[in-house]
Chain A
Amino acid sequence: MKTPFDLLRSLRVPLRRLRDGARRCQEFFESRRGAHVVLVLTLAIVLLTVFVSTTRGLALERHQISAAVDELSELQSLLDEQQAQHQRLELEAEDLRRQRDELVTRLLEMSAFAGAEGQQELEDLARNRRLAQATEVRGPGIRLVMGDASGVEQGSGRSEDLIHERDIQDAVNLLKSAGATAIAVNGERLISSSKLICNGPTILVNRNLQAAPFVITATGDPERLLAALDANERLLYLQLRGKEIHYHVADDLVIPAFRDETYIRTVTDLMVERSQP
């Protein structure tokens, strides 16, 4: 039968071993090589903790990103679809307008329908469409490119490195005063109610957002337009500030027509013709 005393005695040997082991451990850790192991082990543990926590954070972020990417690709396909539809509608509009114009001309030229009055209205129509910027204009002119200072990344650009609405407005005004016959900014025809609004790195021209570089095309006497640009101090100043400013004469420019009839309707609805000026 074992007494508690026997139990203690039987434990004596392992206890001694344990004590010896602990002493050896202590000696080991107090020795130089022990210190190395402790140091390296601590470093490993710290690194492991950091690694695990960032990996976990990243996994969460990756999940959010994939959700965002899904949304983006969905929006992109929606956009593609709408753009295709837009093109289709534009082509259709062009075709319908051509048919209508042909028919109107044919009917009015048959004097039985309208006579001299019809002729006069047809002539006025040609003039009015030109002065309303509603006809495409082809011919020689100038092509001016205005871009942000080189090295500017989207979103990180300092304001003084960017091309602003004021810069475009000034260049456009300059070209008008040099007798430009028609002007477009990034292919967007300027009309009587055209405005330029800065919107972060992009500029709203008419109803469409445009991004740098801005390409301003203007038909007119190339020599006169060129001379006006050469003499402009503001353009030179922008150039000196590192912005991308260059221009050259172009022989065969095509300035697109402004044909948004719905817009013309809404932007004149408050105005009525005065009987006598």
Chain B
Amino acid sequence: MKRQSRPARLVILLLCIVIGVLVALQFKNVSEASRAKVADTASADELRDFVIDLQLANAELAEQNNRLRDNLRALQGEQEGDNVALNQVMAENRQLEIFAGLVAVEGPGAHITIVDGKNAKVDHNHLLTFVNFLRAGNAQGIAINGERLVAMSEILTTGSFPDQQIVINGNIVSASDGIYTIRVIGDPEQIASTYSLLGSYVSNLLVKGIGVSLEKVETVQLPALGKESPAYRFGLLTADD
């Protein structure tokens, strides 16, 4: 083989160096491009939502503080016979009693009826799913078969199929007819649309033979939390601040 001339070898050498540099630069480009993908615009949207939520919360908080200042001013100016302090405490008590489920209440809403099937029984998971969804749909108050659901209410399945029973607030709520009625107070339209979001879940239950139906109700009545229930008793065990 004839040896290559000096200039030709030099040209090849130079070109090889150029190629090497280009390959290196290209690698850098590619890795930079993949890193850039991480800086997604989705995070900006999330952050923006976060800021908006916080602005809203701050506006509410500022309003609440103004109300507190008004209350304080009224209290400071209290004269004998005004009952300012008494009226304030009574107003807070009535509201808290409704909020905490300590009194029987009524309001617009819906009844959701769930019925045991021949080969499938309703269990606590079904009820928890409905309850969680209803709360997501801004349900204000919920009761299942006479038991009001409060912050510390549990929903349990005891025993095993087919003799299982559901316990809420320490009481068995399963009836011999296998019917569970979820009574819910809230905006009926919102409850209905929340219920329709559960469509595939509901049809799964229907396939298993568990019946589910929703009925909007003008006046839903909810009982108070029983004073003997664990949710009530344990709630009072807490040490105050």
Contacts and interface: CB of A to CB of B under 8 A. Distances in A.
B97 interface: yes
A121 B93 contact: yes
A271 B78 CA distance: 31
A129 B236 CA distance: 10
Contacts of A272: 98, 105-107
Contact of A130 (B1, B60, B138, B235): B235
Interface string B54-78: 1101101111110111011001101
B19 A43 contact: yes
A122 B93 CA distance: 9
Interface in A30-70: 31-34, 36-37, 40-41, 43-44, 47-48, 50-51, 54-55, 57-58, 61-62, 65, 68-69
State the main secondary structure of chain A at its contact with B.
Answer: helix
B15 A274 contact: no
Interface in A245-277: 257, 260-262, 264-265, 267-274, 276-277
A92 interface: yes
A99 B105 contact: no
Interface stretch (A7-15, A78-86, A142-150): A78-86
A231 to B, nearest CB: 13
Given A61-B33, A118-B85, A265-B95, A131 B100 contact: yes
Given A82-B54, A114-B83, A271-B98, A135 B241 contact: yes
Contacts of A197: 132, 136
Interface residues of B, number: 115
Contacts of A89: 58, 61-62, 65
A100 B29 contact: no
A235 B240 CA distance: 32
A92 B83 CA distance: 26
A271 B94 CA distance: 11
Contact of A139 (B90, B99, B138, B238): B238
A177 B230 CA distance: 9
B241 A136 contact: yes
Contacts of B29: 51, 54-55, 58
A63 B22 CA distance: 23
A192 B100 contact: yes
A178 B48 CA distance: 40
Contacts of A25: none
A218 to B, nearest CB: 10
Given A43-B19, A82-B55, A107-B85, A268 B39 contact: no
Interface in B117-143: 124-125, 128-129, 132-133, 135-136, 138-141
B207 interface: no
Contacts of A121: 86, 89-90, 93
A85 B128 contact: no
Contact of B36 (A33, A65, A274): A65
A90 to B, nearest CB: 7
B206 interface: no
Contacts of B22: 44, 47-48, 51
B73 to A, nearest CB: 10
A65 B6 CA distance: 48
Contact of A83 (B33, B54, B60, B129): B54
Given A169-B128, A169-B132, A191-B151, A104 B61 contact: no
22 contacts: A58-B29, A58-B32, A72-B47, A103-B72, A104-B89, A107-B84, A121-B89, A124-B93, A130-B236, A173-B154, A180-B152, A191-B151, A194-B135, A197-B132, A262-B61, A264-B99, A268-B99, A270-B186, A270-B187, A271-B222, A273-B97, A274-B103
Interface of A: 31-34, 36-37, 40-41, 43-44, 47-48, 50-51, 54-55, 57-58, 61-62, 65, 68-69, 71-72, 75-76, 78-79, 82-83, 85-86, 89-90, 92-93, 96-97, 99-100, 103-104, 107-108, 112-114, 117-118, 121-122, 124-139, 165-166, 169-170, 173, 176-177, 179-183, 190-197, 207, 209, 219-220, 257, 260-262, 264-265, 267-274, 276-277
